[in-house]
């Protein structure tokens, strides 16, 4: 007969594992397909981000700085006023997703968003956009590239150190 505590623990693990797997699938879908959102009378599609879009969006994300350590009660409102424009530009760049569209229409779209978005929707959008950055895979690829060189081939492993990844230069030598 099984201990009731063991069955409760197994059930807890099963529920949490399935929740984590569902969250990972959701994040993968977000990265692969983007998402659509209705703002005002328009529907916008935020497509999967490319490095160019991320670079433009980062210009505005870096400008977001909140300092609430002042004794002045109006500091929250001052910080909000300073950060609304870069925040709306960050979202606008992610929506526009094209070099010339970003260059030409970021200001116009950010003004539209300023008058149509509420803070709750803007927060949800920014979290989704940041998930679409796919920083985990970007950092992993940079680490792998940093380990691989043509002149000194070696076996590399992924971030977890368990999964071996073959080296292209050694595979090419094997074919010859």
Structure tokens at 116: 């149509």
Tell which residue, 163, 171, 125, 117, has the closest CA to residue 143: 163
pLDDT at residue 128 is higher than 70:
yes
- Is the pTM value of this prediction over 0.75? no
Going from N- to C-terminal start, the domains of the chain cover 16-149
pLDDT score, position 62: 87
Write the burial class of residue 121 (CB in 10 Å: 0-12 exposed, 13-18 middle, 19+ buried): middle
Higher-pLDDT residue of 172 and 136 is: 136
d(CA 161, CA 133): 23
Q: Mean pLDDT of all residues in the chain?
A: 77
d(CA 19, CA 137): 21
CB 116 within 8 A of CB 40: yes
Q: How many CB atoms lie within 10 A of CB 141?
A: 11
pLDDT at residue 107 is higher than 90:
yes
Q: How many CB atoms lie within 10 A of CB 61?
A: 18
CB 84 within 8 A of CB 114: yes
Q: Over the stretch 148-168, which tens digit does the pLDDT of each residue have?
A: 665 555 555 555 555 555 555
d(CA 154, CA 84): 49
């Amino acid at each position: 007969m099984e201990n009731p505590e063991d069955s409760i623990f197994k059930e807890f693990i099963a529920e949490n594992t399935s929740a984590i797997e569902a969250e990972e699938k959701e994040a993968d879908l977000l990265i692969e397909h983007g998402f659509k959102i209705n703002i005002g009378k328009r529907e916008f599609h935020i497509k999967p981000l490319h490095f160019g879009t991320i670079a433009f969006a980062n210009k505005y994300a870096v400008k977001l700085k909140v300092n609430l350590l002042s004794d002045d009660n109006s500091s929250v409102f001052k910080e909000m006023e300073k950060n609304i424009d870069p925040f709306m530009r960050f979202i606008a760049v992610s929506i526009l997703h094209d070099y010339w569209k970003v260059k030409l229409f970021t200001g116009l779209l950010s003004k539209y968003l300023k008058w149509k978005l509420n803070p709750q929707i803007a927060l949800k959008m920014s979290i989704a956009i940041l998930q679409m950055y796919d920083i985990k895979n970007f950092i992993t690829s940079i680490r792998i590239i940093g380990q691989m060189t043509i002149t000194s081939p070696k076996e590399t492993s992924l971030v977890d150190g368990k999964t071996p990844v073959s080296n292209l230069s050694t595979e090419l030598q094997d074919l010859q």
